[in-house]
Amino acid sequence: MIKLDKRLKDTLCDKISPYRPQIEKILHGNNPSEQESIFLIRNLLKNAFGYTDDEVNSEEPIYNKRADITVHYSLGNIICEGKRYNSKKSFLDKDSQRQLYTYCSLKKCEWGILTDGINWEFYWFPLKETEGKKIAEASFFPLPGRITQKWCEQFHIFHAKAKNRREYTKARNVISPENVIWWLRHKEGFDALCKVIQKQQGKKKSEIKGLVPLIYKCFKDVLPLEGRNNPYDPTKKKIKQKKTNNGVVSLVVEQEIGKK
């Protein structure tokens, strides 16, 4: 996830908090209508996510169809399709996704939001491609007792002033040299990577640990693996004191990586 500026966190928290009553009304209402959801969506887009009255339009015709909400602004248009919230059945289904794709395709719009006011999904529809990609999602359920900055972070992609969505999309779930370096140079990163491999391959933890030297062998020529801040540095020696049979203390140098 993109690291957010503290001012954006403050803005999201301050702007979302006043809509708590509307959110709770939909969450706990008896079969709330689609119009209630769209009313909340419009308010959040205009007053919480940074778009202006002039940028947010309702019921825009798209050939013989109508999009619930469209956002026209300098950084790129967004089509928003609103649905009725139902606690037992989500209407953010494949049919709704196809409907949003159709609207975006007809308008040649790359960005779309599918939401029932409680659950929010952000889609990227690359031009000339036949389907979209969900790049982010967020939800007001469950609504915490206290709305915090940290909790509001999940809505950053829906905010007009967030970092460039295209860059976010490119960076998300992409294995880049920077990511690989982080995985290899930081213990928590490498441990997380090993857990993923272990789960996907159905391996034992001991088997994954045995792969560490092989991973370094693969990357040592292309990545700067050695370094004092690298807990997995294969060149790092570990010095231990060891008592011999006659009581003399000797220094034993061991390789930290690949040691059984």
Q: Residue 12: name the closest of 172, 121, 157 by CA.
A: 157
Evaluate whether 160 touches 50 at the Cβ level (below 8 Å). Answer: yes
**C-alpha to C-alpha distance for 110 and 240, rounded to whole angstroms:** 59
> What is the per-residue pLDDT across 43-52, written as a single tens digit (0 to 9) for each?
999 999 988 8
Under 8 Å CB-to-CB from 23, ≥6 apart: which residues? 40, 117, 118, 140, 143
Q: Which amino acid is at 119?
A: N
Per-residue confidence (pLDDT) for residue 83, from 0 to 100: 96
Domain map (residue ranges) of the chain: 6-171, 177-255
Report residue 260's pLDDT band, with 50, 70 and 90 as the boundaries. very low
Average pLDDT over residues 88-112: 92
The pLDDT-based confidence of 202 (bands split at 50, 70, 90) is confident
Q: Tell me the mean pLDDT in the region 131-137.
A: 84
* Helix ranges restricted to H, 29-109: 34-43, 94-107
Q: What does the pLDDT average to over 130-136?
A: 81
pLDDT exceeds 70 at position 240: no
Amino acid at 54: D
Kindly state the helix (H) or strand (E) to which residue 134 belongs, with its residue range: strand 133-139
- Which residues fall within 8 angstroms of residue 168, CB to CB, at 6 or more apart? 2, 135, 136, 157, 162
150, 137 Cβ separation under 8 angstroms? no
